[in-house]
Amino acid sequence: MSANLDWGNLSFAYIKTPYRYVSNFTGGKWDEGCLTEDDKIVLSECAGVLQYAQTVFEGLKAYTTADGRIVTFRPDLNAERLVSSAKRLEIPVFPEERFLDAVDKVVAANRDYVPPYGSGATLYLRPYLFGSSEVIGVKPAKDYQFRLFCTPVGPYFKGGVKPITIRVSDFDRAAPRGTGHIKAGLNYAMSLHAIVDAHNNGFDENMYLDAATRTYVEETGGANFIFITKDKKVVTPLSDSILPSITRRSICYVAEHYLGLTVEHRKVALEEVKDFAECGLCGTAAVISPVGKIYDHGKEICLPSGMSAMGEITQKLYDTLTGIQMGTIEAPDGWIREIK
């Protein structure tokens, strides 16, 4: 039976659900792992995650398709990305097949919390790894935990999609050869001041530039950019310090193989942004958020797509990708994983 929640009015906030999956790494190996109802973690005051932020995470969604199946979208890519994130922070790898099994188990156990088709809401899944044993001299922890919980979240844009206004940030997100390409909490900790300051000044998000030269576009705190040129090419910034968004990679595939558009993955200079026709932010939460305006130190770049709706190509990309996710458009092989 479906949980008694007001699906259309949920926000992006944590709601405790009955089950989560936990596996511990002790004595040099992962234990069997299991579902548990215990939402609390008891840790040493000196745990590695608390002292030196040794933690990486993922984010993906489960939802109900038009024909009533409960599915996840490309969870194999989340499993793979968690492996590369873990390696960069000296965290033992959680095997990809075990990650997929944990996703299946948590969604199945909490199936009453998967929002119905058409509600716009989804069940957001948060897998993560963290150093759980004591660390005081700087080194990796000995013991770790993998945990995966879920929480139902509302439609990202309530009452319709609205283009957002962003600003070019004076802070940097990620250094060359740093950790920008992995999904680590530390990349978010340092972005909190910048986002609070952006909000205080009336902006929805920060556009980060490359830290070395501050001339190329990187990404926002938690979403990749796509740009559409006036001749309808899809352009996405290339950089070693951008987090490889699964949504962005999926959009590029859809652009090429479903819509017949040309896709360019290349460096994008801030200087050329004024020449684009459309701009969007891609991530699991909103799929695509259209950007209407970019503020750059007194100069405003107003995208021709305007402040009232998604641009034409952005809309097509959004409709096609969400159609694939919801099962109304045929998905490429392996993109949709059904939960039995």
Ligand X SMILES: *Cc1c(COP(=O)(O)O)cnc(C)c1O
**Least distance to ligand X, CB of residue 94, Å:** 17
CB of 254 to ligand X, least distance (A): 13
Smaller CB separation from ligand X, 49 or 184: 184
DSSP letter string, 85-124: HHHHTTPPPPPHHHHHHHHHHHHHHTGGGSPPTTSS-EEE
Nearest residue (CB) to ligand X, 131 versus 222: 222
Residue 52 or 188: the one with the smaller Cβ distance to ligand X is 188
Instruction: Provide the total of helices (H) and of strands (E) in the chain, helices listed first.
Output: 7, 17
Toward ligand X, which CB reaches closer, 222 or 280? 222
For residues 106 and 109, which CB has a smaller minimum distance to ligand X in the complex? 106
Residue 248 CB, nearest distance to ligand X (Å)?
A: 6
Could you give the maximum distance between any two Cα atoms of the chain, in Å?
58
Residues in the chain: 340
**Least separation in angstroms between CB 250 and ligand X:** 8
Q: Cβ of residue 288: shortest distance to ligand X, in angstroms? A: 10
CA dist list (Å): 28 to 92, 147, 212: 9, 17, 39
Instruction: Pick between residue 17 and residue 245 the one whose CB is nearest to ligand X.
Output: 245
For binding to ligand X (CB under 6 A), which residues are involved? 59, 183, 219, 222-224, 243, 245-248, 282-284
State in angstroms the smallest separation of the CB of 27 from ligand X. 32
Phi-psi region of 63 (alpha: psi -120 to 50; beta: other; left: phi over 0): beta
Q: Which of 215, 194, 216 is nearest to 205 (CA)?
A: 194
Distance of alpha carbon 324 from alpha carbon 331, whole angstroms: 5
Structure tokens at 66: 């038009």
Tokens of 282: 């891609």
